Amino acid sequence: MAHLTIDTGSPTLRMTTSIHVISPVDTGVPTSSTLYLLHGAGDNASTWHRLTTVEMFAARHGCTVIMPEAGRSFYTDMVYGLDYFHYITEELPELCGRLLHLNTDPERTFVAGLSMGGYGALKCALTYPERYAKVVSFSGVTDIRQRLNDPAMPEGMRREMQAVFGPELEVKPDQDVYALSAKLIEEGRRLPPMLCCCGSEDPFVGMNRQFAASMENSPFDFRYVEGPGTHDWLFWEEHLKTAFDFLFEDKTQE
């Protein structure tokens, strides 16, 4: 496996940004699959690779892992800031596909993330379900309205959220995973199989349980895994295997 750091100017973000990549050594042909792996609000593009064994799982499955930089944007086109959702869903796949000879087949393209990145991964898949084969959320923010209305939110974080969602912290339908799910159901469209993992002591476990309950009677292939742990890398490392087993279960059954 190769670990690459790409520093490149982004027309969407109007600045230089970093992309960390784990990939099989280039053979000149597309790799078997691609995983876009999104970081949390307190992390950056390097954190997944530094703090977990993601490279080991990527090597096992011949998977290229793309880990982009998104700041504390909540993977959103910010009201007062940069267009990170457009960057992640439009510019990033085009750039990486061209540079890295990625397999761009939607049936071999996955998206996953933790915490803020879990929200981002869900939003990507629910907005563009035709682009992804499967989606994974680790301890994700599954109810952005609940998160924004948290009375315990520090003032500094509230100001950050206002930069993302506006002074009134107004959530638009295309930023709400519940509304996006309902729209897909109403339109009779498919959603990629979805896995949500959360620790039983995680501060977001309540919203994850609620989201899982809301999906029970939906037409989607939805799975929820809860186990001992909190909002930390010990839990996310443990459930990397859970995630990769889910992403590649079809391949292992062949």
- Both ends of the chain: CA-CA distance in Å? 24
The string of pLDDT tens digits covering residues 132-179 is: 999 999 999 999 999 999 999 999 999 999 999 999 999 999 999 999
* Identity of residue 215: M
**Which runs of consecutive H residues, i.e. helices, occur in the chain?**
47-51, 54-61, 84-86, 92-100, 116-127, 144-148, 155-165, 177-187, 205-215, 233-238, 240-247, 249-252
Task: Indicate the pTM of the whole model.
Answer: 0.95
Q: How far is CA 98 from CA 12, 109, 242, in A?
A: 17, 15, 30
Q: What is the percentage of the chain residues whose pLDDT exceeds 90?
A: 91
Determine which of 17-31, 64-78, 170-184 has the lowest per-residue pLDDT on average: 17-31
* Mean pLDDT within 85-114: 95
What is the reported pLDDT for 149?
94
Say if residue 222 is exposed, middle or buried (CB neighbours under 10 Å; 0-12, 13-18, 19+). middle
Q: For residue 236, which of 118, 120, 153, 132 has the smallest C-alpha distance? A: 118
Question: How confident is the prediction for the chain on average, in pLDDT?
Answer: 94
What SS3 class is residue 24? coil
Q: What is the pLDDT of residue 31?
A: 63
Any idea how long the chain is? 254
Strands 63-68 and 33-38: parallel
**Banded model confidence at residue 24, pLDDT cuts 50, 70, 90:** confident
Provide the pLDDT for residue 250: 79
Domain residue ranges of the chain, discontinuous segments joined by +: 2-246
* Residue 183 one-letter amino acid: K
User: What confidence score (pLDDT) does residue 205 get?
Assistant: 98
Token code pair at residue 138: 């680790």
Task: Judge whether residue 26 has pLDDT over 60.
Answer: no
* pLDDT range class, residue 103, cuts 50, 70, 90: confident
218-254 pLDDT tens trace: 999 999 999 999 999 999 999 999 999 999 997 644 4
Q: Does domain 2-246 have CATH number 3.40.640.10?
A: no
pLDDT for 254: 42
pLDDT at residue number 28: 52
